[in-house]
Amino acid sequence: MSRWLVVSVMVSCSWGCKRPAEAPGEPSRPAEKNKDVKEAPAGPGLKRVSVTMAQARSWGLPPVTFTLTCPEAVEVDLARPGRRNLFYVLLTLNREGKMSESVSVSHVDLRGGSSSRFDALAPVVMKRLQSALLSQLPGMKVVSSGKTKFGGVSLWQFRTTFQIKDASMGEPGRYKSIWLALLPGRGARSPNGASLTMAAREGSGTELTTFDDFATKGLPAQVWRSFRIR
């Protein structure tokens, strides 16, 4: 089952915890790659992933347009119509065939409100996410939660550590994870924001040994630096 259960819990509860309905009779499983989503070259060793508002609507997710770049070696798993989609895209960097680093992009549904409105409800949204995680990962520790600096920018975020022992829950090991809320800026046409859930497994060859590393190293830093809400 790899990392899917943990990622699903991390991204399933945001603005109001509303989930898209799953097609009747279909089992819950990872979304398959959607060929309609653009993956294009973005420089040596990188590829660009773009999602449009029309595609987001077709997946039953709040509309948003964004682009990002990631290393060519990264696995790109995208939502598709007719599935219970909890994220727009999940990026996974494997080392020796096992998950080492991941970034998932899910929604921050502003429901017609302004980005500033999110400031009032962000603590509630994050508390719900943390409660959902704790129900699946009883030993999880919330290291910090609030609006603090990430890569020099003040963002709503929370940081956690947890351990997976049961392989049915994901790749066994100790993890660090950061959840970030990204909101549309001036000039953006997207009516909603997005969240990045970044995770790294200790001892997997990752350079991400501290929470500060997530903004400067590895897959999380590449996605963070390149992510644009249009």
Q: For 116-167, give the secondary structure using H, E and C.
A: HHHHHHHHHHHHHHHHHHHHHCCCCEEEEEEEEEECCEEEEEEEEEEEECCH
Question: What's phi and psi for 222, nearest 5 deg?
Answer: -60, -45
- The per-residue pLDDT string of the chain (230 residues; one tens digit each, 9 = 90 and over) reads 344 445 554 544 343 333 333 333 333 333 334 444 455 556 789 999 999 999 999 999 999 999 999 999 999 999 999 999 999 999 999 999 999 999 999 999 898 888 888 998 999 999 999 999 898 888 999 999 999 999 999 999 999 999 999 888 889 999 999 999 999 998 899 999 999 999 999 999 999 999 999 999 999 999 999 999 99
pTM of the prediction? 0.85
Residue bearing tokens 């590449």: 222
The whole-angstrom distance between residue 8's C-alpha and the CA centroid of its chain comes to 9
Side chain identity at residue 219, one-letter code:
L
- Does residue 191 contact residue 63 with C-beta atoms inside 8 Å? yes
Side chain identity at residue 66, one-letter code:
F
pLDDT at 137: 87
Token output for 198: 């970044």
pLDDT at 138: 86
Region 4-14+34-229: CATH code: 2.60.120.1690
**pLDDT tens across 28-54, in order?**
333 334 444 455 556 789 999 999 999
